[in-house]
Chains A and B, each alone.
Chain A
Amino acid sequence: MTAEHRKFLKKNRARKIALHLSRILLLFVFIGGWELISYLEIIDPFIISSPSAVVKVIGRLYQSQQLISHVSASLWETVAGFLIATVLGTVIAVLLWFNTFLRDVLEPYLITLNSLPKIALGPIIIVWFGTGKTAIIFMSVLICIIITVIGMLSGFCNVDTEKIMLMRSLKGNKFTVMIKLVFSANIPTLLSVLKINVGLSWVGSIIGEYLSSREGLGYLIVYGSQVFQLDLVMASTVLLCFLAGGMYAVVSLLEKIIRKKFS
């Protein structure tokens, strides 16, 4: 190894360490600043709560055995919505790739549904599915599925036509073209869709819980704001950050494994 290269590696490692330290520092500054502002009452602690109050609320929820039930309710609704929307949306995209006529027929409806604010359908969903988990999961699916169909279909249609021609010249039929080329070429698209759906499925489940629920983090946020327990609202939001971040980390890990296998 030359001295020049050693210097380059050292510089690269120093940048990485600085990056991680800066991230941790930013978090500490944020938490410390928040605690200080609240402690010194620069802003009314009733409005902004404080990190120590948030920890206390989480501890209280844990002791009263409510934490697990609320967290697991939200997590279950979100993961179910996320998986159903991703699988169903991909299957619909595959069908639309196979049938160009159907694709053209459905195109304006997909565009309209994509632009529609799904929360507007909330009251209808409650009437249809009641106030249970089904309605919340349906809301989550509704928010994710259209973007999944549009994203996957766009990826399928952008596969190099020369590659398709090559497969057809090798007597490949439309099914084998889909399996061996189109779908495989769109694994990166699927991974992007998964990452987008992590955020969207949380939006769906929390909105669903806002509208009709007796448990879950969305319910705690609405309940906390109604009884002016801002500590509870903040604690639920912090828990939501951790859960969404954790789910994103799982998808990123999956991405790493798949990319390693496919490239």
Chain B
Amino acid sequence: MSILTVQNVSFSYHTVQEEVQALRNLSFSVEEGEFVGIIGPSCCGKTTVLNLLSGLFTPTEGEILLRNAPIRKSASRIGLMPQRDQLFAWRTIEKNVCLGLELLRENTPERKEYAIGLLRKYGLGDFIKKHPSELSGGMRQRAALIRTLVIQPDLLLLDEPFSALDFQTRLSVCDDVYKIIRQEKKTAILVSHDINESISLCDKIIVLSKRPATVKEEIPVEISRELTPLQKREDKRFNQYFKKIWSLLEDTNDCGTSKISKKE
């Protein structure tokens, strides 16, 4: 059953110099419990897709349905995990992960207990009263994911969440995040430009064309979900997927331009 449906979505943004079409007739769907990757060339409109999916932008045309309701009016929740952990330096880890609860006015003792339970479950029990500066990069990223999970979102949006980490930490945090999302049975969308990361994490990869972005191809990743991202990298099909996605991106690796009008 589809949890998210993106139907013929187009989006344009305006500057004083020009109107730029970022997306054109973008359509795809995401099933409940699925981990979907969105990958595309630089400046193809990945961030625009993310802003639309998180309800911060409204499509110029088309619609986005979350559990069959328009995303901006939907009672369903979306959790966003940004590129950097964006933990607030002046808050303790406990207060950081409860930020969403405060904003949604759901800061009840039960929900707080749930948040603390998640911190303990995923190895941050000793750091509840610490500040972010006292945690390693990987721990901070885990705390950021828990902050997203605490609001019990229907859909998780991951915006290149490992890009700020060094390679070794990245591999280990990638495993952690995958494990947490699978254990909590969440539906997630990963927006990334990293092909390896997308294959190792996702059940399906949507390759976008250059701007104005549209779906170039949807590639199901048929490597067992039971394997960790690191184990998936050792699967013989991993390289085939990589080559396929790379060839699709090769045609589109420049910043496409799609100026609708230009001011004289």
Contacts and interface: CB of A to CB of B under 8 A. Distances in A.
Main secondary structure of the interface of B (DSSP, over half): loop
A160 interface: yes
Contacts of A168: 56
B99 A184 contact: no
A170 B131 CA distance: 21
A71 B230 CA distance: 71
Nearest to B55: A169
B90 A187 contact: yes
Interface in B8-59: 51, 54-56
A162 B82 contact: yes
Interface string A62-78: 00000000000000000
Interface stretch (B100-108, B116-124, B182-190, B221-229): B100-108
Contacts, number: 51
A162 B83 contact: yes
B54 to A, nearest CB: 5
Interface residues of A, number: 19
Q: How many B residues touch the partner, as a band?
A: 20 to 34
B56 A169 contact: yes
A191 B88 CA distance: 18
A180 B84 contact: no
A262 B80 CA distance: 25
Contacts of A262: 89-90
21 contacts: A163-B86, A165-B51, A165-B56, A166-B82, A167-B99, A167-B103, A169-B55, A169-B79, A170-B151, A171-B103, A171-B104, A172-B103, A180-B99, A180-B102, A180-B103, A181-B88, A187-B90, A262-B90, A263-B89, A263-B90, A263-B133
B14 to A, nearest CB: 16
A185 interface: yes
Contact of A176 (B90, B103, B133): B103
Interface centre among A168, A181, A187 (most CB of B within 10 A): A168
Contact of B78 (A162, A163, A169, A185): A169
Given A162-B83, A263-B90, A170 B104 contact: yes
A155 to B, nearest CB: 14
Nearest to B50: A165
Nearest to A261: B90
B103 A165 contact: no
A172 B100 CA distance: 9
A169 B153 CA distance: 11
A187 B89 CA distance: 11
A217 B55 CA distance: 60
B188 to A, nearest CB: 15
Contacts of B55: 169
Smallest CB-CB A-B distances: 10 pairs: A262-B90, A169-B80, A170-B103, A170-B100, A172-B103, A169-B54, A162-B82, A163-B86, A166-B86, A184-B90
B47 to A, nearest CB: 10
Nearest to A168: B56
Interface centre among A169, A171, A176 (most CB of B within 10 A): A169
Interface string A148-182: 00000000000010110111111110001000110
Interface in B65-118: 78-80, 82-84, 86, 88-90, 99-100, 102-104
B82 A185 contact: no
B88 A185 contact: yes
Contacts of B151: 170
Given A169-B56, A171-B104, A162 B90 contact: no
